[in-house]
A and B are shown apart, each in its own frame.
Chain A
Amino acid sequence: MRNNKSTAMWWEEFFDDSYGRMGLEVIDAERTRVEVDFIVGALELKKREWILDLACGKGRHSLELARRGFSRVTGLDYTEDYLKKAREIKEAENLNVRLVQGDMRDIPFDAEFDAAYNYFTSFGFFADEKDNEKVIASVAKALKPGGRFLLETINRDQMIRNFFKLGWYEREGEYVLKRFEIDLETSTLVSEWTYLRGKRKTVRQVRIRMYSLHEMITMLRRNGLEFVSAWGNKEKELLTWDHHRMIVLAKKS
């Protein structure tokens, strides 16, 4: 089993142009709209509420919320290039959204938000579990008392039940070849992504700490966030170990 001993974190390198094209832009606008429908419903968002999109990437959810008249949305991400893309759309469509570069372990807000969400596997990025926990603590700090938090990520149990080692897909002549392994000592899904574009080959690594529901509940609770519900999909089916996604709703006490 490999250990993450390198000084550069995988996510500092992974979220590049290739992922932007093959990981983010492959998601069509309709899917984003359906996801935003779900986020609005699950968090019971109101137009005038302060909302945080944690790890917003190119801002597909925060921009869509702004389009719908939610006027107090903040998107935070680590990758400046993605935020730049988000700002371009914001300017072009004249949307009211705040886009902030930052580290999710240290969200620069205090009791600011009525609701926060972290959507599309943007949790469990850190090799040291204490850092992942810092993200939750940081969310709790950024929320107002009674604030809601929605987390959408990999369901570890499903991954265990249906683990496969190889996968690939193609988009407009570009290929992504994925190879997976699980580091059981740390519950980390290690994936290697090989991008093939003409003669160019780029290899990147992703390391995501996976959680089963009970672990997530325990961690949220330790940080002052009470568990409310767990769903397995946007149709709000109660989570089972056969759902690919784990969607957890929690509330700050």
Chain B
Amino acid sequence: MNKFDKSRGSRTHAKQASGTQWWEQFFDTEWKRFSFDAHTPEHTAKQVDFIIRKLGINKEDNILDLACGIGRHALELSRRGFEHVTGQDFCQEYLDIAAQQANKEGLNTEFLNSDMRRIPGYANLDAIYCWHTSFGYFEDEVENEKVADTIGAALKQGGLFLLDTINRDWVVKNFQSQGWHGEVPNYILERNHFDLATSTHHGEWTFIAEDGKNHTKKMQLRQYSLHELIELFARYGMRFVQAWGSIDGEELTIDSRRLIILFSKGEVSSTSIARELR
């Protein structure tokens, strides 16, 4: 298969994951409303500025947005003239929204429905990014490592991977067993537990919706400190390049809420990145 197969056949591969994982239930229209829709276009644009700068990508590069959701960043890259952008996600509902938007704007963004542990047909990519806490979804750590393995296998030698996730150290300092956010009429009420033996945040979140239909969903996320990600990705041939605590390029500290980390597969090949790192 061509690494950017234009046929949409792969979309039918859909959910090959077994059983019912929390994320199969969690990511729905409601979550979209709470999470994705809360990002203004300006915010997305700023994130995309950061992604472009740190990945040092060019218009003709092959780029994969891993766990793209409704394609906020992938679509924005296409808008800016990046010609070979694919957004991967397991959630067809989100991919449909993304594809509709692409059609509406006449963008050539590709979308792939797959499990993030398997991105069949993708190899030799210039860059991959995974934005907004989409790593660590699997209960069994071996499965999380498969994602790292998949990323390593899909990149070309010297290709770059940028991950934006939550900083475990920040969580350790600021964890709240109860919390709520939202505004009239939509709220999320959180009940949270952190399991030290597995470094996993278990949440039971009650969504209070406009129509009065409240319901509770479970989520769980394996959380990582910087050194753990460095060690984990090193096992799959990915070298640590740099870490930041925000898209403003601040240094990562234990008080940074976000952990943004750049890896290269072997030596960095991008000359612009190499220049920036020097």
Q: Which residues of A contact B (CB under 8 A)?
A: 129, 157, 160-161, 163, 182, 184-187, 212-215, 217-218, 227, 230, 239-241
- State the CA gap A227–B252 with chains docked (Å): 32
Q: Which residues of B contact A (CB under 8 A)?
A: 141, 169, 172-173, 194, 196-199, 225-228, 230-231, 240, 243, 252-254
| Chain A residues positioned under 8 Å from B173 (CB to CB) | 160-161
B254 touches which of A160, A185, A230 (Cβ 8 Å): A160
List 18 interface pairs A-B (beta carbons < 8 Å), by A numbering.
A160-B169, A160-B254, A161-B172, A184-B225, A187-B225, A187-B226, A212-B199, A212-B225, A213-B196, A214-B196, A214-B197, A215-B199, A215-B228, A218-B141, A227-B197, A230-B196, A230-B197, A241-B194
- State the CA gap A217–B172 with chains docked (Å): 18
| Chain B residues positioned under 8 Å from A160 (CB to CB) | 169, 172-173, 254
| Chain B residues positioned under 8 Å from A230 (CB to CB) | 196-197
In the complex the two chains form, is A212's CB within 8 Å of B227's CB? no
Count of chain A to chain B residue pairs whose CB atoms are closer than 8 Å in the complex:
50
| Chain B residues positioned under 8 Å from A240 (CB to CB) | 196
Identify the closest chain A residue to B259 (Cβ).
A184
- State the CA gap A142–B69 with chains docked (Å): 51
In the complex the two chains form, is B197's CB within 8 Å of A129's CB? no
Name 4 extra pairs, CB < 8 A, besides A212-B196, A214-B199: A184-B243, A185-B230, A214-B198, A240-B196
| Chain A residues positioned under 8 Å from B230 (CB to CB) | 185
In the complex the two chains form, is B254's CB within 8 Å of A184's CB? yes
| Chain B residues positioned under 8 Å from A227 (CB to CB) | 197
Identify the closest chain B residue to A239 (Cβ).
B196
In the complex the two chains form, is A157's CB within 8 Å of B196's CB? yes
Interface SS of chain B: mixed
Distance (Å) between the CB of A163 and the closest chain B CB? 6
Identify the closest chain B residue to A187 (Cβ).
B227
| Chain A residues positioned under 8 Å from B226 (CB to CB) | 184-185, 187
Of the candidates B194, B196, B230, B231, the one having the most CB atoms from chain A within 10 angstroms of its own CB is B196
In the complex the two chains form, is A241's CB within 8 Å of B240's CB? no
Distance (Å) between the CB of A158 and the closest chain B CB? 9
- State the CA gap A217–B199 with chains docked (Å): 11
Identify the closest chain B residue to A213 (Cβ).
B196
Distance (Å) between the CB of B194 and the closest chain A CB? 8
| Chain A residues positioned under 8 Å from B225 (CB to CB) | 184, 187, 212
Going nearest first, the 5 A-B pairs with the smallest beta carbon separation are A187-B227, A214-B199, A213-B196, A184-B226, A160-B172
In the complex the two chains form, is B172's CB within 8 Å of A185's CB? no
- State the CA gap A187–B240 with chains docked (Å): 14
- State the CA gap A31–B126 with chains docked (Å): 59
- State the CA gap A239–B243 with chains docked (Å): 30
In the complex the two chains form, is A217's CB within 8 Å of B228's CB? no
| Chain A residues positioned under 8 Å from B196 (CB to CB) | 157, 212-214, 230, 239-241
